[in-house]
């Protein structure tokens, strides 16, 4: 049985240093994380959930950051991804939102 995969890349451009950053990436219904375990990876904590993957940073330094996560595609169809939000846990006025996208799996 063939398992198709997709790599999701989240790019964050921080204009200053931020503390306690939470990123919530809501995924399409056809996507299941390849890595199902929560834990620290590459300097941040990752927690895959039922419909989203959460990332937690103690500190996010000024500059460009890229997060990549692989997912299995489990069925064909047309799907809408959720939004991706990045925000400071204790200063919610510092927040960024990426719009959802439509993906077609054949």
Provide the pLDDT for residue 92: 87
Q: What's the pLDDT score for residue 86?
A: 96
What residues does each domain of the chain span?
Answer: 4-96
With CA atoms as reference, report the closest residue to 27 among 83, 72, 66, 78: 83
Question: What kind and span of H or E run contains 15?
Answer: none
> Tokens at residue 106, please?
């054949």
Split the chain (106 residues) into runs of 10 and give each run's mean pLDDT: 85 95 95 94 92 96 95 94 94 92 92
* 14 contacts 63 by C-beta, under 8 angstroms: yes
- Structural domain 4-96, CATH architecture: Sandwich (2.60)
Determine the pLDDT at residue 13: 95
| pTM of the predicted model as reported, rounded to 2 decimal places | 0.90
d(CA 77, CA 85): 25
**pLDDT number for residue 2:** 60
């Amino acid at each position: 049985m063939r398992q198709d995969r997709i790599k999701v890349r989240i790019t964050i451009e921080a204009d200053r240093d931020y503390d306690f950053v939470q990123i919530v990436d809501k995924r399409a219904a056809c996507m299941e994380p390849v890595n199902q375990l929560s834990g620290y990876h590459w300097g941040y904590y990752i927690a895959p959930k039922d419909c989203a993957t959460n990332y937690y940073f103690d500190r996010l330094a000024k500059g460009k950051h890229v997060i990549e996560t692989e997912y299995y595609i489990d069925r064909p169809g047309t799907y809408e991804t959720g939004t991706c939000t990045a925000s400071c846990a204790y200063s919610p006025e510092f927040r960024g939102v990426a719009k959802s996208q439509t993906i077609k799996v054949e």
